[in-house]
Structure 1
Amino acid sequence: MTAIYDKTAKKKATNVSINSDLLEKAKYYKINISSSIEKTLEVLVKEKEVQLWEEENKEAINDYNNRIVQNGLFSNGLRSF
């Protein structure tokens, strides 16, 4: 899987507002907040990038699918199943 960001990039401090009860429970269970946020952000960013790619390529995807419906796959005559 290709990384969607530079995992070796320098860390940057930021301010985040988190529900106080949720934060206390995370601390109680010794959950690494920074790591958890990074993992969640990675998933969210990847989802957005996939969505953007699909939107940008929607016309080409539809054209390809229509061509396959009209002409079939090049290997249709070669399959034995």
Structure 2
Amino acid sequence: MNRPARFEGPKRPTNVSLNAELVEEAKRLGINVSEACQTGLAAEVKKAREAAWKEENRAAIESWNAYTREHGLPLAKYRLF
């Protein structure tokens, strides 16, 4: 199931290894490292979910693309342009 990547629930402490210079620069710039990590992780989870969905539905997508290549869009005659 392709659920939205919203992670608003409770947080838990997690150990993450990050480049020390990068963390220090982030702190100097006032970046919330935990929030930035969560944002990046959420983006990666979303990307992985999308890739999994595309793979799970690859056959149907290819079938539909083949149909439209052969027959055109089903409602093309109603297009205004």
If asked which structure has higher relative contact order (CA below 8 Å, sep 6+), I would say: 2
1: CA distance between counterparts of 2:79 and 2:21?
Answer: 60
1: CA distance between counterparts of 2:14 and 2:7?
Answer: 18
Q: Which residue of 2 aligns with 1:14?
A: 14
Is 1:64 equivalent to 2:50 in the alignment?
no
Q: CA deviation at 1:80?
A: 4.6
Q: TM-score, normalised by structure 1?
A: 0.84
1: CA distance between counterparts of 2:15 and 2:5?
Answer: 23
Q: Which residue of 1 aligns with 2:5?
A: 4
1: CA distance between counterparts of 2:64 and 2:77?
Answer: 19
- Structure 1 gap ranges (5+): none
Q: TM-score, normalised by structure 2?
A: 0.84
- Structure 2 gap ranges (5+): none
Deviation above 4 Å: which 4+ runs of structure 1?
none
RMSD: 1.6
Paired-residue identity, %: 34
Amino acid at match of 1:4: A
C-alpha spacing 1:67/1:22, structure 2 compared with 1 (3 Å):
same
Aligned residues: 79
